[in-house]
Amino acid sequence: MNGIKGKIIRFFISFAAIGIIVFFMRDKLHDAMAILRHEVQWGWVAAAAVGYAIGLALIAIRLQWVFRVQEIHITFLSCYYLGFVGLFYNLFLPSAVGGDVAKAYYAYKHSGKKIESATSIFLDRVLGFIALIVMAFLGLLYFSKEVESAYVDYAVYGAFGFLLFFTAFFASRHFARLFKGVGRLIPSEKWKSRLAEVYHAIYGYRHHHWPVFVALLLSFISQAVFITTNYWLAVSLGANIVYWKFFILIPVIGIVSMAPSIGGLGVREASVIYLFSRYLPPERALALTVLMDILTYSFSFGAGIVYAFRGGLKKSDVQAEIMR
């Protein structure tokens, strides 16, 4: 029953957000569609697509380095395919991190190491998150007087504070013991044992400085590539927004997209329109979020086609195996 309630909530959040967008932007929809039909410079969109593919390749290399610590040996092409599997499942599983469940399942099937696979995928996601937040934090510190929204400040500083807590929690057992009492809120002994295994697996990465450093460096490079692709999409619409602002705005949008929803649908678009309407006319901000969706969903559906030709897998099978 809880699973059904969760799905209902996610559907409600996504479609409520879309409904709000349509309602408040109803006078701008025609203009936004006209911009997309007649004003888009598709050369920049093509460059953004190439950049997106390169970003996925960098993430695949990063995942190889993370796997290496757990002695999981997967080729670059397999890791690249895992990235496509994640894109496909992000369309259907909770929030923008749902595809990680499927990636962990495939890594487990390849290696036979369930906890190590799940931990590696989780840490891989965290490394990407670290890069986003640090970029946004440094950009906000340097350009704080030029940022026009206090909500951006709150989102970035809040995420950075959470990042510091997370780092301290998994880097220091002494600090983690301060929260030992929280374990009483977990009724299942099985889950307590599983979470303890995950904690120790992540904690073990602190002894592998070089792989973690390389993976983190790849995170910064890949996130910079993805941010640049969004900048190119904006340029394709004739936007005149300073490049560095994307290093603050795009990470904030990424954080918001992790909210409970259908793969970030609705909440992502609402955050793009809200933030970019400060620098673009509303109809161009709406056109920009449509272009971002076209790029993202083109890769996601393309991943689904590749995935189907390789046999596919039922979503319920992935969830059941990971939770078992």
Phi, then psi, of 262 in degrees rounded to 5: -90, 90
Output the six-digit token pair for 59.
């993430």
Q: What is residue 318's predicted lDDT score, i.e. its pLDDT? A: 46
Is residue 184 included in any domain, yes or no?
Answer: no
Least confident of 209-218, 255-264, 276-285: 255-264
Q: Over 18-56, what HEC string results?
A: HHHHHHHCCCCHHHHHHHHHHCCCHHHHHHHHHHHHHHH
Is residue 84 included in any domain, yes or no?
Answer: yes
Number of domains in the chain: 1
Is residue 206 included in any domain, yes or no?
Answer: no
In this predicted structure, the answer to whether residue 95 has a pLDDT above a threshold of 70 is no
Is residue 175 included in any domain, yes or no?
Answer: no
Q: What is the mean pLDDT of residues 40-58?
A: 96
C-alpha to C-alpha distance for 297 and 61, rounded to whole angstroms: 23
> Residue 291 belongs to what domain range?
2-169+213-323
Q: What is residue 213's predicted lDDT score, i.e. its pLDDT? A: 92
C-alpha to C-alpha distance for 111 and 98, rounded to whole angstroms: 21
Is residue 200 included in any domain, yes or no?
Answer: no
In this predicted structure, the answer to whether residue 273 has a pLDDT above a threshold of 60 is yes
- SS3 at position 238: coil
- SS3 at position 263: coil
Q: What is residue 57's predicted lDDT score, i.e. its pLDDT? A: 95
Higher per-residue pLDDT: 100 or 36: 36
Higher per-residue pLDDT: 169 or 54: 54
Residue type, 228: T
Higher per-residue pLDDT: 313 or 72: 72
Q: What is the rounded end-to-end Cα distance, in angstroms, of the chain?
A: 18
Q: What is the DSSP string of 135-170?
A: HHHHHHHHSGGG---HHHHHHHHHHHHHHHHHHHHH
Q: What is the mean pLDDT of residues 21-27?
A: 89
Residue type, 73: H
C-alpha to C-alpha distance for 167 and 174, rounded to whole angstroms: 13
Rounded to two decimals, the pTM is 0.83
Is residue 253 included in any domain, yes or no?
Answer: yes
C-alpha to C-alpha distance for 156 and 81, rounded to whole angstroms: 32
C-alpha to C-alpha distance for 213 and 306, rounded to whole angstroms: 32
- pLDDT tens-digit readout, 64-92: 999 988 888 888 988 888 888 788 777 66
Output the six-digit token pair for 118.
């799940």
In this predicted structure, the answer to whether residue 305 has a pLDDT above a threshold of 80 is no
Distances, alpha carbon 259 to alpha carbons 17, 140, 164, 218, 282, in Å = 12, 22, 20, 25, 24
Say if CB 291 and CB 237 are below 8 A apart. yes
Output the six-digit token pair for 160.
């950075």
In this predicted structure, the answer to whether residue 124 has a pLDDT above a threshold of 50 is yes
- pLDDT tens-digit readout, 4-13: 776 778 888 8
Binned at pLDDT 50, 70 and 90, residue 1 comes out as very low
CA neighbor of 217 nearest in space, from 130, 100, 159, 140: 130
- pLDDT tens-digit readout, 212-245: 899 999 999 999 999 999 999 999 999 989 898 8
Angle between helices 209-236 and 114-142 (to 10 degrees): 60
Is residue 91 included in any domain, yes or no?
Answer: yes
In this predicted structure, the answer to whether residue 23 has a pLDDT above a threshold of 80 is yes
Is residue 248 included in any domain, yes or no?
Answer: yes
